[in-house]
Amino acid sequence: MAGSSLDYLGITELSELIAARRLSPVELIEAHIARIERLDPRLKAFARFSPEDALAHAVVLEQELAAGHIRGPLHGIPLALKDLFWHKGKRTAAGTVIHRDFQPPLDATVVGRLREAGANLIGSAQMTEGAFANHLPPVEPPVNPWRADHWPGASSSGSGVAVAAGLVPGSLGTETGGSIHLPSAVNGVTGLKPTWGRVSRFGVFELAATLDTVGPMARSAEDAAVLLGVIAGPDPQDATAARVAVPDYRAGLEPGPLDIRIGLDQDYAFAGTDEVTVAAVTAAIEVLGTLGAEIVDIRFPDVTDMVADWFPVTAVQAAVAHEATFPARRAEYGADLADLIDRGRALSGMDYQRLILRRLDFRGRVEALFDEVDLIVLPVLGISDTTSSRMAHLDDDLITAVHKFTCPFTMSGNPALTLPCGLTEANTPVAFQFVGRHFDERLVLRAGHAFQSVTDWHRRRPLP
């Protein structure tokens, strides 16, 4: 098949072509290598690109296919991984200067699981320093393929850009405060932040251990379901990976009416949210009604403390994550990450205990809402004007607009699925999200799949 006809196919579509012997793993990887070589010098989505390794692996996968052995729906599928997942012997810098020459001695658990499932890992996606706020020179920020002057998202920016531009059909990102939500939203892709503990963090650079969550970024909820099914589950190398059964997420995307109760707090969702976002999210909610969902008025707990507390909680945990190199090698850190760690090192134990107690109280209040509803629907960003110049100058109002729909759910640990639902007049994406009960990713994905079955926002393309 011609490379251009493959660029925007999703994981499940490509998998079906491979299984039917209408597409070979070698043809597929060659097409993606050619597209990356053509577009990535401008888009800067990749921190490390390994075409020779990927092509050699595709030959092995093609030989397996010829012998009648197919490993599953990821067999031969090109993927990118955010540049903080250990990949044995491959440089993994986590967007930093201090780790720029680090070559892991073994694979992260999720990397091993993807490789065993037949995925072809073509390279590492670019990211911010240490998964915090900014790209540290000499790293150049990835370029949003919808508009070059728009923000590419937070720390998983390279993953979002790579999927949106058709460089790969899927990627893994991580979220600590919004770094799956936000790059998925601004790049127009589907991103899942699973429940904290659903996916192993072994071999993943830490920012804040009790917040960091590994999740898929892809073209659709169905593709995210495939990826989550491979990477989820307990791990003897990470005792915090929950010993909770992993369902067949893709099989759970059964057709039929969406006979569920979806909660909406209009004050939380829409007060202070710009008109473009309100209109797009309202239209998405109307679609959910036509699918059979009952939209229920709810009162969501006040998120003010959780947005404010996210920073000191992250700061303390980042200080622990970096204690081997900070402050001893402070000169190799960027100002923003260094300031965050300083803040964490200065916080008292009593102040941190207050943060813990507020977080536990908030988590309990969110949990109680799911006695009334099955899912909660919200915007992802309170603003649709996300030019890079605007996002480079954060004030208190802008910080709230960026974090009010993301940080609360890393603080509570709930799963959340970001879905494209519109375009601005500037032709940049707008998104909404479903939030679910802990470990109920299956329902979150089912609702997302139902929405995408009757809409085409996730199929819009930024580039030829």
Q: Which of 15, 50, 155, 184 is catalytic?
A: 155
Q: Is the N-terminal amide bond of 138 cis, ω within 30° of 0?
A: yes
Q: Which of 44, 82, 90, 404 is catalytic?
A: 82
Is 90 a known active-site residue?
no
Residue 67, judged by CB atoms within 10 A of its CB (0-12, 13-18, 19+), counts as exposed
Is 155 a known active-site residue?
yes
Closest among 158, 169, 156, 5 to 76, alpha carbons compared: 169
The residues near 53 (Cβ < 8 Å, ≥ 6 apart) are: none
Residues 321 and 204 sit within 8 Å (Cβ to Cβ): no
- Strands 261-264 and 375-379 come out as parallel
The torsion angles phi and psi of 193, rounded to 5 degrees, stand at -95, 105
Token readout for 220 is 């659709």
Q: How far apart, in whole angstroms, are the C-alpha atoms of residue 259 and residue 166?
A: 34
| Helix H or strand E encompassing 84 | none
- Strands 78-82 and 170-175 come out as parallel
Q: Which of 24, 171, 179, 184 is catalytic?
A: 179
Residues 102 and 231 sit within 8 Å (Cβ to Cβ): no
Beta bridge pairs of residue 31: none
Closest among 267, 214, 259 to 238, alpha carbons compared: 214
Residues 76 and 168 sit within 8 Å (Cβ to Cβ): no
Is 179 a known active-site residue?
yes
Residues 277 and 382 sit within 8 Å (Cβ to Cβ): yes
Indicate which residues carry an active-site annotation: 82, 155, 179
